[in-house]
Amino acid sequence: MSQNEISAIDDPVELVDEQPDVGAVRREVLKGLTAATKTLPPKLLYDERGARLFEDICETDAYYVTRTELAIMEADVSTMARELGPHCRLIEYGSGASVKTRLLLEHLDSPAGYVPVDIAKEQLVETASTLSADFPELSVTPVCADFTSEFTLPDEPDDAARSVIYCPGSTIGNFHPPDARRLLRHAATVTGEDGGVLIGVDLLKPRDVLERAYNDEEGVTAAFNLNVLDRINRELDADFDLDRFRHRAFFNETDRRVEMHLESVGPQRVRIDDTVVAFEDGETIHTECSYKYAPEQFRALAGSAGLEARQVWTDPRDYFSIHFLVARS
């Protein structure tokens, strides 16, 4: 799926480029759209435009997630930095704009490197260059990859006391619990006995708050969701009519997740390369799950991956949580 090459970009940072190529995207799109229940993997939402739209979502009034997590970071970053300890190498899964990471990096004692991993290449390169300029002492090694499949991490530098995987934003919520467990177990093997996982997890809360957050009045989330069809039109040879799909997001209480779908307006046929996909009126493409946890549920999930919480931080409303997980003794 990937060409593993190291290319010099803007002077100080070197990109490890394992971004899935168009062939990999095509395979995932066709697999998802020809299945009995149509789905697209949420990672496909993050092309260049999608990554920018997600940043806009974070600015909406309704989307409490980013704002709440940032407030927890602001309140507790010193304690977090102390837990992570001196000479810690930080590996971030789904780094995006790295806003919260800045706060952490500012408070860490002599960090031994920062490895942002993200699938959205343009945003990754730009963020890594800016961070590298703002933290001149810090070695920044961006890796463009799909962290749900095999990818290469740079070796731990000799002066690193430990590696910690940072996974903020409730990115873990995009995974069905068995996949989340696998990801956590893999993270535990990457960081080993001395390392850890600092992870943001969105919490269960009243339905109206959740549904508002994924149906903002400005329509940014709708644009973000619909962009995946536009991206498929642009990157593959496809003819989705964006006016004939509608954004739908709702809380599925049984499965404790917010679901995002694209609903067909009327019956229609869409062509992707040589494949024709038929939609019934009202049929949907399921584009995202965003699981919400009770703190003890997440604790149990981490436990089943061999990790235990050394510390958990929340906000006063208990909307969001940040867990520092270490290998279970």
Residues lying near ligand AVJ in the complex (CB under 6 A) are found at 57, 65, 169-171, 173-174, 214, 221, 260, 288, 290
Listed in sequence order, the residues at least 6 apart from 108 whose beta carbon sits closer than 8 Å to its beta carbon are: 81, 84, 86, 88, 90
Which amino acid is residue 297, in one-letter code?
Answer: Q
Q: Residue 15 and residue 32: Cα distance in Å, rounded?
A: 30
As measured in angstroms, the least distance from the Cβ of 60 to ligand AVJ is 9
Q: In angstroms, rounded to a whole number, what is the distance separating the alpha carbons of residues 177 and 174?
A: 9
Would you give the distance in Å from CA 188 to the centre of its chain?
18
Compute the least distance from the CB of residue 259 to ligand AVJ, in Å. Answer: 10
Q: Which is nearer to ligand AVJ, 112 or 120 (by Cβ)?
A: 120
As measured in angstroms, the least distance from the Cβ of 92 to ligand AVJ is 13
Q: Give the contacts of 45 (CB within 8 A, at least 6 positions apart).
A: 54, 224, 225, 227, 228, 287, 288
Shortest Å distance, C-beta 255 to ligand AVJ:
14
CB closer to ligand AVJ out of 99 and 327: 99
Provide, rounded to whole angstroms, the least separation between the CB of residue 94 and ligand AVJ: 7
Closer Cβ to ligand AVJ, 171 or 227, answer by number: 171
Q: Please, what is the minimum distance in Å from the beta carbon of residue 69 to ligand AVJ?
A: 10
In this complex, which beta carbon is closest to ligand AVJ, that of residue 141 or of residue 171? 171
Closer Cβ to ligand AVJ, 57 or 187, answer by number: 57
Residue type, 29: V
Q: Give residue number: closest CB to ligand AVJ.
A: 290
Contact 100, 175 (CB under 8 A): no
Strand 196-202 versus strand 320-327 pairing type: antiparallel
| C-alpha count within 13 angstroms, C-beta hemisphere, residue 85 | 11
- 88 or 224: whose CB is closer to ligand AVJ? 224
